[in-house]
Structures are given as C-alpha cells and as structure tokens.
C-alpha cells in the first residue's frame, strides 16, 4: 500500500527516508493560515490545533488518492503562558520569538494523522518539553547570522538538528517529536498495516 506524506517538509521526508519508510510526498494544498485563524477563533489549544491541522492535510489528499495511506502532520509550540508561536516570517520576528522563549520551558506538540479513503484511521499526538537556556543577546545575533533564513520554516525559530541545539539546557521527550513527527508510534502503525515488515 502506498504512503503519501501530505507535506513538503524536508525534515519529515528525511525522517521517513532515513527510517526506511517508502513514501511519496506532496503538498496538501491547504490554506494553513486560514485554518489556524479559524481554529484559534474557536478557542482550540495548541494540542487540538496540531491534531486538527494534521487531519485537514491528510484528508485533503486522501480524497484525491483514496487507495493510499495519507499521512498529515503538524507541529505547534506553546509557551509557558499558553501563547502559541508560528513560524517566523522575518529575522526580527525570529529574534523576538527566541527572546520570549529564552530562560523558559515550552512545549512542542507534534501530531500525525493517517487517512484512507477520505477518513481518518489513525492518529497520534506527542509532546516534548524544551527548557531554553538564558543566552545573551550577542549569542542570539551570532545564531541568527548563521541560521537565518534556514529557520524561517521552523516553529520557534530553531532547528534542533543544527546550531539550535545550543539554545537548550534540557529536553524531555522524543527527538523525532521535536523535529515534527511522532516517528516511533507511526512506525508501529505502519508495521500493523503491513507497510513495513514486522
């Protein structure tokens, strides 16, 4: 059975490929900004928003490819005060996000939903807690010089698989969840479905 990743995320494609998961990847064609606005207006928290966006992406492609397993994913970031952060669009926005997170612990919520025949058949939401160290403004500028614009597509303004690792004092949770995909539960499900050997 074919697995389609409803995403163009390089990190998610790499995780699946590195884990030996055969898949195709394509953009789901979802207006994420409009969906986020609607979900926020309904009062959804970060966990529910990640789950709903992952489902929306999977459903969109599943209707076009009803015989395939379609994997939708999303990740949200919730600060200690409950504020949610989006991907920074400018270097100044990335700096502001990182300053707001500096010296605090935040949560990354990664959701994955698989649809078949236009219906969700599996889902998993995982949470990682990240304690960001109290870095200096000078270090932040050096970091942004090295990482911008690569981090523009990264919620929170960092990539843990790069220089962003230096932002943190402690991480509780799965590395894969931090990268944006609850990979181990997904692999278990793909074995149950026969996509992967058991």
Q: Which residues participate in catalysis according to the annotation?
A: 74
DSSP bridge pairs for 76? 109
Q: Looking up tokens 């004092």, which residue turns up?
A: 169
CA distance 185 to 126: 9
User: Would you put residue 12 in left (φ > 0), alpha (ψ -120 to 50) or beta?
Assistant: alpha
Of 104, 127, 156, 154, nearest to 46 (Cα)? 127
Tokens of 125: 């939401």
CA distance 52 to 38: 11
DSSP 8-state code for residue 30: -
């Amino acid at each position: 059975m074919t697995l389609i990743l409803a995403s163009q995320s390089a990190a998610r494609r790499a995780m699946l490929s590195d884990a030996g998961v055969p898949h195709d990847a394509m953009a789901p064609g979802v207006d994420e900004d409009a969906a986020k606005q609607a979900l926020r207006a309904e009062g959804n928290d970060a966990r529910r928003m990640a789950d709903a966006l992952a489902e929306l992406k999977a459903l969109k492609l599943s209707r076009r490819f009803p015989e395939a397993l379609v994997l939708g994913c999303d990740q949200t970031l919730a600060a200690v005060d409950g504020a949610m952060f989006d991907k920074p669009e400018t270097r100044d926005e990335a700096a502001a996000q990182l300053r707001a997170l500096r010296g605090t612990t935040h949560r990354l919520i990664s959701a994955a939903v698989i649809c078949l025949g236009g219906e969700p058949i599996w889902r998993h939401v995982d949470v990682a807690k990240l304690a960001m160290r109290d870095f200096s403004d000078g270090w932040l500028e050096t970091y942004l010089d090295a990482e911008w614009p690569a981090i523009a597509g990264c919620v929170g303004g960092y990539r843990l698989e790069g220089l962003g690792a230096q932002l943190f004092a402690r991480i509780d949770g799965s590395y894969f969840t931090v990268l944006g995909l609850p990979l181990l539960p997904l692999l278990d499900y793909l074995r149950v479905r026969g996509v992967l050997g058991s």
